[in-house]
Amino acid sequence: MEAFEYASPHTTESALKLLGGRWGETEILAGGTDLISAMKDRVTTPKRVVNLKKIKGLKRIEYSAHSGLRMGALVTIQDLLDNKVAREHYPALAQAADGIRGEQMRHMGTVGGELLQRPRCWYFRNGYGLLAQYQGKSLVPDGQNRYHAILGNSGPAYFVNASSLAPILIALGGKARLHGPEGEREVELRKFYTTPMKEEDREYVLKPNEILTEILVPPDKGGKMAVYEVREKTALDWPLVAASVVLHLSGGTVRSARVVLGHVAPVPWPVPEAGQALEGKAVTEEIADQAGKAAVSKATPLSQNGYKVRLAHIAVKRAILSAVKGEA
């Protein structure tokens, strides 16, 4: 790891004053599992690290029927799993958190860090940059791309967003609250992630001198929800694909449906096509399967990851069926 300056401010305001205006100059430290690993791999070499753990206000988690769930960015995965109210109102959020293994990661990992984790792409982690460039072209299309994107992969980015929580939070209509030098702003999570076009870009709209302070999730109004992950290992491992589903039913038919895929594209990938396939219909296995097919209808797999198209299709189907059965 390169040497760096370190600060551990007690307030968000003082933290903001420590941040630089360019990515990579400063990095924000929360749980540390991703940032410190990335720094050891020299994926990022900040000159200054700003630790947020001493900011008490970022660790709150609260729910009200009126405004829904508010989670400070430093709420840990374990805090979230332990929060009965959150589990009760957003069972699929707890389900997504439960996919994060094991206890160490749950105690260290924070909600904010989970949402802002950098891609796992092995070209990125091995030093070839976010766009995996080598001699002027991406290594991914002709390289080892079994874990890469099947959607939103027309380039130049081919990695997948690695967050387990983002897809369900997007399906639930969640927002991110960001603090910057000019004050606060709220961004819908579905608009929070962006596909980088240049090597210097990041994977989200957060600016280098801003801090993600809170996640807001609107109150749930009788939605049925579930997350379904397909993974190689039950132990610590990122899913191959995941589907998050929030359905609203009236009289046995689907009134509205939000389906968001994870680990398939450089950003969490909402699939309105899947929702449309469900709306106005009673959920059967066949209808769920059609929604799954619709979800991947625009998939453009690379040389080795066609199987992920199938997995995404199945994950959507199973998430829908699980949501309807209330399994989350």
Restricting to residues 57-86, name those near other proteins by CB under 8 A: 78
Phi-psi region of 263 (alpha: psi -120 to 50; beta: other; left: phi over 0): left
* Smallest gap from residue 269 Cβ to other proteins (A): 18
Among positions 65, 198, 221, 235, the unique one binding other proteins when judged by CB under 8 A: 235
CA-CA distance, 205 to 185, in Å (whole number)? 11
Q: Is 300 an interacting residue with respect to other proteins (CB under 8 A)?
A: no
DSSP notation for 9-58: -SSHHHHHTT--SSBTTEEEESS-HHHHHHHHTTS---SEEEE-TT-GGG
**To which H or E segment does residue 95 belong?**
helix 91-98
Q: Is 25 an interacting residue with respect to other proteins (CB under 8 A)?
A: yes
DSSP notation for 198-227: STT--SBS--TT-EEEEEEEPPP-S-EEEE
Residues contacting other proteins: total by CB under 8 A: 78
Among positions 28, 86, 130, 139, the unique one binding other proteins when judged by CB under 8 A: 139
Q: Is 327 an interacting residue with respect to other proteins (CB under 8 A)?
A: no
Contact 53, 74 (CB under 8 A): yes
Among positions 62, 186, 188, 232, the unique one binding other proteins when judged by CB under 8 A: 232
Q: Which residues pair with 187 in a beta bridge?
A: 176
Among positions 70, 120, 207, 281, the unique one binding other proteins when judged by CB under 8 A: 120
Among positions 32, 155, 180, 219, the unique one binding other proteins when judged by CB under 8 A: 32
CA-CA distance, 261 to 283, in Å (whole number)? 19
Burial code (b: 16+ CB inside 10 Å, e: under 16) for 272-285 equals: eebbebbbebebee
Among positions 4, 154, 218, 286, the unique one binding other proteins when judged by CB under 8 A: 4
Closer to other proteins by Cβ: residue 244 or 305: 305
Q: Is 307 an interacting residue with respect to other proteins (CB under 8 A)?
A: yes
What residues from 85 to 104 belong to the interface with other proteins (CB under 8 A)?
Answer: 98, 101-104
Q: Is 19 an interacting residue with respect to other proteins (CB under 8 A)?
A: yes
* Smallest gap from residue 288 Cβ to other proteins (A): 12
Among positions 36, 70, 180, 256, the unique one binding other proteins when judged by CB under 8 A: 36
Task: Break the chain down into helix, strand, coil percent, rounded to 5.
Answer: 30, 25, 45
Among positions 28, 49, 151, 320, the unique one binding other proteins when judged by CB under 8 A: 49
String marking each residue 239-268 x if it binds other proteins according to CB under 8 A: -x----------------------------
Among positions 60, 64, 85, 107, the unique one binding other proteins when judged by CB under 8 A: 107
Contact 320, 282 (CB under 8 A): no
Q: Is 204 an interacting residue with respect to other proteins (CB under 8 A)?
A: no
**CA distances (Å), 23 to each of 27, 44, 200, in order?**
8, 9, 7
Q: Which span (134-142, 149-157, 168-176, 260-268) binds other proteins, by CB under 8 A?
A: 134-142
* Smallest gap from residue 64 Cβ to other proteins (A): 28
